[in-house]
Amino acid sequence: MESFSLLLSGFETAMSWSNLLYCLIGVTIGMLVGVLPGLGPTTATAVLLPLTFGMGPISAIIMLSGIYYGAMYGGTITSVLINTPGESASVITCMDGHPLAKQGRAGAALGVAGIGSFIGGTFSILGLTFIGPPIAEFALKFGPPEFFALMVMGMIMVIGLMGQSLLRGLIAVLIGLTLAMIGMDPITGLDRFTFGQAKLMEGFDFVMIAMGLFGMSEILIGIENQGKTQKPPKVKGVFPRKEEWSPALKSIGRGTGLGFLTGLIPGTNSVIPAIMSYSLEKKLAKDPSRFGKGAIEGVAGPETANNSYCGGALIPLFTLGLPSSPTIAVLLGAFIMNGLTPGPALFQSNPDIVWAIIASMFIGNFLLLVMNLPLAGVWAKIAMVPAKLLYPIILLIAILGSYSVNNSLWDVGAMLVFGVIGYFFKKVDIPIAPIVLTFVLGGLMENSLLQSLAMFEGDVLGFFSRPIAGSVLVFSMVVFVFSLVSGFRKKKSMIASDIEM
Amino acid sequence: MKNAGVWVGCFIFVFALIIFSTALTYEYYGSIGPGPGLFPLWLSGALIVLSLLYIAESMFKHKISFSDILPRGKGLRNTILFILSFILFMIIVPATGFCIAGIIMLFIVLLPSYKWYLCLGISTTVTLFFFVVFYNLLKIPLPVNSLGW
């Protein structure tokens, strides 16, 4: 009940005119990047992060979160209408969504996806509302060893689940952590790895790393693959047939649970629950042969699952301070830049902010439902903006954004360098996401490690004398060994190594 | 020489080596506990080992040649133009100010796709629009020339 009353006070803040406006801007940008193939929520949040300076923490995070979950809605439209997923979580929607569109039933596919996304999104935020606070309260008992162990687990899960190669994943993790070491040592105040450069004394800015590795590298890849745009078909009617309601609602229910639970696991991404949901629906269907030819459940389940995932994935961030995916890492960066530290104390120290953000997500999901059902055809036309015009404009926004962080061209140059590095890393299959995830955690991880070692008087085995830290580290080792063995046997998952989440 | 994986591996190796050798100059463990060199030393040490493994893998198992990963034809031209125009922007912007540098950069990037007068129109409109938004409305002190733009 306490959560409920706090949520109500959150609504009070979230429903101020300015916050409603930022929520609307966020979900609209999210829809835009979802609709535009090649751009994803990670790129959009990274590029727009500097623009949120000066907005205040609530408005900034409301807007960035809106981009995150808004993109999940937008990606569906192009998957259904022109068989081109706007973002990776909607890849699986092409399987049945586009065949439905070819049958003249694009409206039904988009309608059921919109309803499913709304239900999945809303239920997962309800989960965040009621499960988040108890987890945070429990985590308040954690000390530095437990946090260090949790961060290790998060990283191992990221490289174990996300990457195609453990070696490449580990390299990415270590690069991110090493980059985080550059700058002033938080304990002794010593300048580390600055090589006489005053600009490096405060280390690399998170915005530069995220904008370069995610934004610039994506623009470079987009520039070299400028495909032709395809004209979308007209959208008529937005509801499925009477007999389709029951199976669609059941798929939505299953997708909601699956997406939410997957979101709780660090290192997963929104593609995983979407694929799992599709495969589950196909297995449960009386006639699986319909799948791939326009089965409504093939749209309802995965689309619900990828939206439900978003709410679930925010729980590790809000309660433990652990980013479970790249977009969440950008959100964590936004929290830190606004002087907030996500983690167990956040619910107690800044309840006004947390509950306003959660409340805004309910509002954002409702706005998205309204924007999607009657306006799907309008959004589809945006996908017609040619890439050859789009990418240069995004480049200019990225330059302005990186410059505005410190009003310095040095940051713009750093973004370009990280962009080129990210471009080549992507080409040789070194995943980018773990670099950014670990960069944002690097400082926290070093602090907790050093504090723990000081507690244990330098004895590394001291971690295993604490039940939670020890158990989490043992679990991490098991996951690591499993990833190693499955890597050798080439039975790794089919999930792509570095996808937008 | 044509193996992109080896080059990327060498880049990571050199980066890790620089960090490792620098970390050796910092205190590893002091009187008050772990020093500033402890964590970076272990990280960069592990990165050196992994980069060597990656180089070996790239040489013998997972070969990626530059011709497989780099774009060709129009794609290559667009990418090179894009990077060069960005570098040109960085060089000239302190002298010319944001507007001229931005227009030139966008003009170069758009030139392969549109007629020159369209490129000029689009690049001028887009640059001036963002200049007004960032400089005048958001009050961000963008680099400007002696004329104030």
Residue A493 scores a pLDDT above 60: no
Q: Tokens 């679930």 map to which residue?
A: A312
SS3 of A192, please? strand
Q: Residue A501: pLDDT band by 50, 70, 90 thresholds?
A: very low
**Å from B123 to nearest chain A CA?**
9
Query: How high is the pLDDT of residue A416?
Result: 93
pLDDT in tens, A15-73: 999 999 999 999 998 888 877 766 677 778 888 888 787 788 889 889 988 888 888 77
Per the CB < 8 A criterion, the answer to whether A412 and A216 are in contact is: no
Q: How many CB atoms lie within 10 A of CB A353?
A: 21
A220–B83 C-beta distance less than 8 A:
yes
Q: Tokens 């049945």 map to which residue?
A: A96
Q: Which DSSP letter does residue A55 get?
A: S
Residue A86 scores a pLDDT above 60: yes
Query: How high is the pLDDT of residue B17?
Result: 96
* pTM summary value: 0.81
Query: A49 exposed, middle or buried (CB, 10 Å; 0-12, 13-18, 19+)?
Result: buried
B50–A167 C-beta distance less than 8 A:
yes
Residues 41-70 on A with a CB inside 8 Å of B are 51
Q: Where are the domains of chain A?
A: 1-500
- DSSP H or E stretch at residue B30: strand B29-30
Contacts of A8 (CB under 8 A, 6+ apart): none
Residue A475 scores a pLDDT above 70: yes
Residues A98, A100, A103, A108, CA torsion sign = negative
Percent of chain A's residues with pLDDT above 90: 15
- Strand B29-30 and strand B33-34: the pairing is antiparallel
A131 touches chain B (CB under 8 A): no
Residue of chain B whose alpha carbon sits nearest to that of A227: B75
- DSSP H or E stretch at residue B33: strand B33-34
Selected for mutation to probe chain A from B29, B52, B82, B84 (highest A CB count within 10 Å) is B82
A450 touches chain B (CB under 8 A): yes
Residue A290 to residue A415: CA distance in whole angstroms: 47
- Mean pLDDT over A366-377 rounds to 80
Residue B29 to residue A131: CA distance in whole angstroms: 41
Q: Which DSSP letter does residue A211 get?
A: I
Query: How high is the pLDDT of residue A85?
Result: 67
Closest listed residue to residue A446, CA positions, set A144, A239, A123:
A144
**Å from B56 to nearest chain A CA?**
12
- Mean pLDDT over A315-326 rounds to 82
Read off the tokens for A438.
């670990």
A195 CB neighbours in chain B (<8 A) are: 22
pLDDT in tens, A230-275: 666 666 766 778 888 888 899 999 999 999 988 887 666 777 788 8
- Strand B29-30 and strand A191-192: the pairing is unpaired
ipTM score over 0.95, yes or no: no
pLDDT in tens, B76-123: 888 899 999 999 999 999 999 999 999 999 999 999 888 999 999 999
Query: How high is the pLDDT of residue A176?
Result: 93
